[in-house]
Structure 1
Amino acid sequence: MVFQPDDKQSYYVSWSRSFQPSGEGFALAANNAGIEPEKTTNKEIGAKYTLLGGRLNATMSLFELERTGIKSAAPGSTVLIPIGTQRTRGLELSANLDLASGWRAIAGYSYLDARITRSLAVESGQAVEGKRATLTPLHSANLFVSKDFADSFGIGLGGNYGGDRFANPGNTVTLPAFVTVDALAWVKLGPARLQLNAYNLFDKRYIVSGHGTSPLLNLPGAPRTVIATVRFDL
């Protein structure tokens, strides 16, 4: 349901439920045959605003998401075990600013309090109930600012923040927070536009996620990556 009193603001309320069988892709195997289907229920309210003559767009949402039938790989094996019920209460904020002087900014922030609310599972000697959900940071944020010069060339710089996360349901292994920096530069030469995008500009070493078979294994984040693109306007 959406309520829009004028063209500068709108408010919404939503409710949804989804269903996912444990045999993803309808393929049943010995490691998932005993797991009940996963169900997700999401309740959300939010608002959207257009300010400064349309140059600033901002959104805000509050939500509560509950998942039942969650499963995870048992440590040291590929057998899936039931975790229980997970509840995520969160806040998301985002904004886009576009100024006539050529400045642009994109910012976002999210707060996710994700916990296992009901479970009989024990992992790494710890009861899973009451623990934080795996690979879900409490805080994360992003900011990117760019500047165009007379529609001839432009530059941009920004960063991404990911907070601490737990690698396993027992919350015995913590993946540390990280910050990465991205940049871009572009120039227009006649009908051609050349652009360079650099991700993880300072080659930050960080862990993006854990590995399902063991909390002591991890997946490193992507190293510095530079992508060049050329576009022609015919």
Structure 2
Amino acid sequence: MVKTKGAIGISFTLFGTSFLFINCHLTSDRSSSKNKVRLLDYHRVIRELRLPRNAADKNAHPATKLPDVTARFDCVFWCGDLNFRLERRRTAVEGKVSQMTDTANNFPHFEELLGGDQLSKYITEGKIFEGFQEGRINFQPTFKFDINTDKYDSSSKMRIPSYTDRVLFRSRKKNHISCLLYDAVMNIKVSDHRAVYAFFEVVLRPGRDNIHMCAGQFDRDVYLEANKRRAQAQLNKGQKNSSVCAVQ
């Protein structure tokens, strides 16, 4: 926990590839002083997030500086309300959004708004999310709306529409994660944020026999059959044909 905000992480190994998923809510408010607090929040998370010591190997990702819990994993996905804003005039942002969402505009280019994106700036400067990537943002700002409407914040604060909710990723091996889709759900309006989601394709390494099984539910029949096939594969090592195990 970081005061009223915080982060939660889950890690696991799938075959021979280790994964870490982090979801967080960083300090809110758009003032420049809060940006410094958000950076401190991020560094506190990567330094203090507690995970099992045997959750992954200890080879640090080349893009990170220790101590950093994310350095221990092959694939890292970080999502949540990061609360970084667009440093642009509200009228300019709303004008661009109106232009891009016009029904006659078949090829919107919301990337033009990202020139004032605080998060992109800090990543480029190496202050946060070292080595992380993000899919192409080609959807309108997802914060902040009047609830149950398509109207941006009409309160006294008149917040500038921004991309506060993000999904970032990093792989230890180059190109082992591909972002297939990155988008927002604009027709669910029960929150002052619009939901953001992403689909990924990940390269998996073959499994190892020395990792502990998880405590979750599994099909024991499939497990026993896999052991039989593994044993048979050991006997057939001298043969040229390969042995394949089907996993459910």
Structure showing the higher strand proportion among its residues: 1
Task: Determine which structure has the larger helix proportion and give its number.
Answer: 2
Same fold by TM (over 0.5)? Answer: no
Q: Which has the higher contact order (CA 8 A, sep 6+)?
A: 2
